[in-house]
Amino acid sequence: MLLRRLFAAVLAPLALFAAAPASAEVVKTGHLEVELVSQEAAAVPGSTVFVALRQKIQAHWHTYWRNPGDAGDATKIVWTLPAGWTAGDIVWPTPERVRVGPLQDYAYSGEVLLPVPITVPASAKPGQTVTLQAAAAFLVCEEICVPEDAVVTLSLPVVAGPAKPDPKWGDTVGKVLAAAPKPAGLKATWKKDGETIRLSVTGASLRGADFADAYFFPYSGKAIDHAAPQAIERGAEGLTLSLTAGFDFGPEATEAPTELSGVLALKGRAYEITATPGETPAGSVGLGSLPAAGAGSTGGSQAAGGGDASGLAGGLPVALLFAFLGGLILNLMPCVFPVLSLKAASLAAHAHDAGRTRAQGLAFLAGVVATFIALAGLLIAVRAGGEAVGWGFQLQSPAVVAVLALLMLLVALNLSGVFEVGAAVQGAAGGVSAGSGLAGAFLTGALAVIVAAPCTAPFMAGALGFALTQPPAFALLVFLALALGFAAPFVILAFAPGLLKKLPRPGAWMDVLKHALAFPMYGAAAWLVWVFSQQAGGVALALLLAAAVLVAFAAWAYGLGETRRFAGKTPLVAFGFAVVGLAGGVLLTIGALKAPVPAAGPQTAEAAGPGLVAEPWSPERVAALQAQGKVVMVDFTADWCVTCKVNEKTALAGPRLADAFKAQNAVLLKADWTRRDATIAAALAEHGRAGVPLYLVYPKGAGAPVILPQLLTEGLVIEAVEKAAKG
């Protein structure tokens, strides 16, 4: 007995070194090379050895994850093992997102290893070599899908002592296992809100993580709409993803799910999570939103024109520079033209009073800065609360549009001389007091921002897209730079008396100029009323027009009362009519906002110009048209965006453009953001934008779009379409 034990003690180490290493043969299936590889060079009785099914996939082809997504089939393995040996579940690496037309699939390309834990029975005898056999079935796809299968084997020696890593594959399998998604003590909850599932994940492992392009891969193929974008909101303790509900969470489901399981993938790491129903934790939101993942593109956008790139490589300093330049250029955008009337009238009134002009310049600057920061703060707060909104969100509210329309009307009536604020006091004082002038300059700056902000200028678009992915403090700095750029021309002019003195001395010409400048304001009021009609419908429009009549009557009655008071006569009757008119206008405006809004029907194609028709946009439509070999141009627009409308009437309406689209087999799609639309907001964010206009030109077949400048010309669009047609 002692002799036998001595022999065993001596032979066991020898068996470890003498045993043949694990070996397998490669099987070629047509589009794959398949084999079994092991993390360990040998098996030890009573242990677990990881054996991986290795696939080397032909270029441009792919196989599928455990949940293949909208189409496909997961790889399956059937094991034939020696008696007592058992195989566990596949350890699935994090998949890739593969866009196929309108479908979103979860797949693998290149080389992938699927490790499987194999339990070695304690009865396995050292010194023997066992054969592990796996029958694997694959669906391999490119533009077509081909089912393929392979039977692969692995010869594995059994040893008594600790097994060494396989010299060829041990390190590779180990890295795959280390990178595979696994639990990390994260807390996950989900809450259904209409058709949206808000999935919130918090935990110590997520502190300081990079949430850009975060994505949730569900284990169930029916839990979510895979093709829909996943909006990302950051928080101090984690993040919240907005997912579009699938069949499992829809009314057709026989019972509501009690959990939502899958993989949360971040840059460089992935976690297995199981979410239970619950409220959104405070630590998963609050630091702003990021571009949505999976919104329908297969890669990043390319910017045309250099200065308008969505990705700002220089970070915050470059964003501040771009914001300042964008603010400067915003003064030249059509959005600002109506408010130029107020600026021009103010400059003309005080051109030869350097002190007052400078004070008004600073007051205008204060109004611009205060309003930009207020709008930015509100935008950041609304986005942190889960709303998919972007820059210009204020004009997506019918209430704001209605109030602005009436305010523009009052400003126009004031410029026309229908009424003056405090005319009697001003007349007695011999002119406009300094205080009144400063208040007017401040309000002019505020009004300019509210009307101009919905449009984006070159440089400004990329800066805003960057700002809305940053913490609030950094975002507000970017908006401050934008405000300074926007106010700079007027402020500089106010501090340049040499330029102002070239204007004629005050006289009758100023009244003529003032009355003439009223008409752009009337135009702005009419435009806002039209925008309101697009948002609220015909009944609401009729009520708002009636309100406008009463408000105009109130302004006239007020002006009449001021004139009578200045002449020493009683103004009470006139002021009474003014109050009644204003009250009636307010009540009618409230009625307009409460009027039933016609249900938004399905978007239909509409004429964009002679021979050119714009179809409704959707990410799925873009992918489908590209798959058909068509060039696609997407016009992200809104009725309240003046720059958008100018481009539509100039660059996008000519017969030459229609001929070019026909010749290049191109299609124009229109994404209308007049009303709030979370899908459009997500698409804008995906391309680093926070507002409209945005113009994308997708090449035929596949590939990322080119971003065109905010101000278009017909020739520029034709050139972009022709380049895209060349692939």
Q: What is the pLDDT of residue 525?
A: 84
- On whether the CB atoms of residues 445 and 487 are closer than 8 A, the answer is yes
Q: Where do we find the tokens 């109004």?
A: 367
Classified as helix, coil or strand, 303 is: strand
Which tops the pLDDT comparison, 246 or 7? 246
The pLDDT, as a whole number, for residue 423 is: 38
Bridge partner residues of 357 (DSSP)? none
> CA 633, CA 714: separation in Å to the nearest integer?
13
Per this entry, what is the length of the chain?
Answer: 727
Average pLDDT over residues 538-552: 89
Closest listed residue to residue 472, CA positions, set 281, 315, 682, 289: 289
Q: Whole-angstrom Cα distance, residue 80 to residue 44? A: 19
Return phi, psi of residue 490, to 5°: -65, -40
SS3 content of the chain, % helix, strand, coil (to 5): 45, 25, 35
Alpha carbon distances (Å) from 623 to 227, 324, 337, 593, 701: 11, 36, 38, 38, 9
Contact between 198 and 242 (Cβ < 8 Å): yes
Instruction: Dump strand ranges (E) for 74-143.
Output: 76-80, 86-87, 96-100, 103-108, 111-119, 129-141
Residue recorded with tokens 């914001």 = 323
Whether the predicted pLDDT of 306 surpasses 90:
no
The larger pLDDT score, comparing residue 305 to residue 526, is at 526
Report the distance separating Cα 696 and Cα 416, nearest Å.
Answer: 43
Residue 108: count other Cβ atoms within 10 Å of its Cβ. 21
477-505 core/surface letters (b: 16 or more CB in 10 A; e: else): bbbbbbbbbbbbebbebbeeeeebeeeee
**Which two structure tokens, joined as six digits, stand for 156?**
């594995």
Q: Is 544 left (phi over 0), alpha (psi -120 to 50) or beta?
A: alpha
Residue, of 338 and 181, whose pLDDT is higher:
181
pLDDT at 304 over 60: no
Quote the CA–CA distance of 667 and 536 in Å, as a whole number: 30
Residue 510: which of 628, 417, 574 has the closest Cα? 417
Q: What pLDDT score was predicted for residue 18? A: 39
Dist CA 539 CA 541 (whole Å):
5
Range of lowest pLDDT (3-12, 379-388, 581-590): 3-12
CA distance 353 to 558: 30
CA–CA gap between residue 448 and residue 445 (Å, rounded): 5
331 vs 337: CA distance, rounded Å: 8
The confidence score (pLDDT) of residue 430 equals 33
Q: Is the pTM for the entire model greater than 0.85? A: no
* Segment 352-406, tens digit of pLDDT: 566 777 888 888 889 889 988 887 777 667 655 444 445 555 566 788 788 878 8
Answer whether 83's CB lies under 8 Å from 127's CB: no
Instruction: Tell which residue, 591, 592, 589, 564, has the closest CA to residue 576.
Output: 564
User: Cα(661)–Cα(646) distance, rounded to whole angstroms?
Assistant: 20
Give yes or no for residue 234 having a pLDDT over 70. Answer: yes
In this structure, the number of other CB atoms found within 10 A of the CB of residue 77 comes to 16
* Measured distance CA(11)–CA(688) in Å, rounded: 67
> Are 617 and 671 contacting, i.e. CB atoms less than 8 angstroms apart?
yes
Is the separation of the CB atoms in 727 and 502 below 8 Å?
Answer: no
Could you give phi then psi for residue 156, rounded to 5 degrees? -130, 120
Output 680 or 669, whichever has higher pLDDT: 669
Q: Cα–Cα distance between 669 and 673 in angstroms, integer?
A: 13
Q: What is the pLDDT of residues 474-499, one digit of tens each?
A: 778 888 888 898 888 888 877 876 66
Write out the H or E segment, with its range, that includes residue 199. Answer: strand 196-202
Mean pLDDT score of the chain? 79
Direct distance between the N- and C-terminal alpha carbons of the chain, in angstroms, rounded to an integer? 80
Q: Which two tokens stand for residue 378?
A: 């509100």
Residue 104: strand, helix, or coil:
strand
Cβ contacts of 172 within 8 Å, gap of 6 or more: 37, 113
Distance CA(28)–CA(150), nearest Å, equals 8
Please name the residue that has the structure tokens 């999976």. Answer: 294
How far apart are alpha carbons 164 and 174 in whole angstroms? 12
Distance separating alpha carbons of residues 418 and 562, to the nearest angstrom: 11
pLDDT tens digits, one per residue of 683-712:
877 776 767 788 999 998 777 889 898 778
Least confident range from 81-85, 218-222, 435-439: namely 435-439
Q: Does residue 440 carry a pLDDT above 90?
A: no
What does DSSP assign to residue 88? Answer: -
Confidence band for 409, pLDDT divided at 50, 70 and 90: confident
- Other CB atoms closer than 10 Å to residue 170's CB: what's the count? 19
Please report the pLDDT score of residue 479 as a whole number. Answer: 83
Cβ-contact 479, 466 below 8 angstroms: no
- pLDDT band of residue 243 (cuts 50, 70, 90) is very high
DSSP letter, residue 93: P
CA 390 – CA 636 distance, rounded (Å): 13
Please state the φ and ψ torsions of residue 52, each to the nearest 5 degrees.
-110, 140
Phi and psi torsions of 190, nearest 5°: -130, 150
Q: Which residues pair with 138 in a beta bridge?
A: 148
Lookup result for tokens 């069949």: 247
**pLDDT value at position 546?**
92
Q: Tokens for 705, please give them.
A: 């779009």
Q: Are 518 and 415 in contact (CB under 8 A)?
A: yes
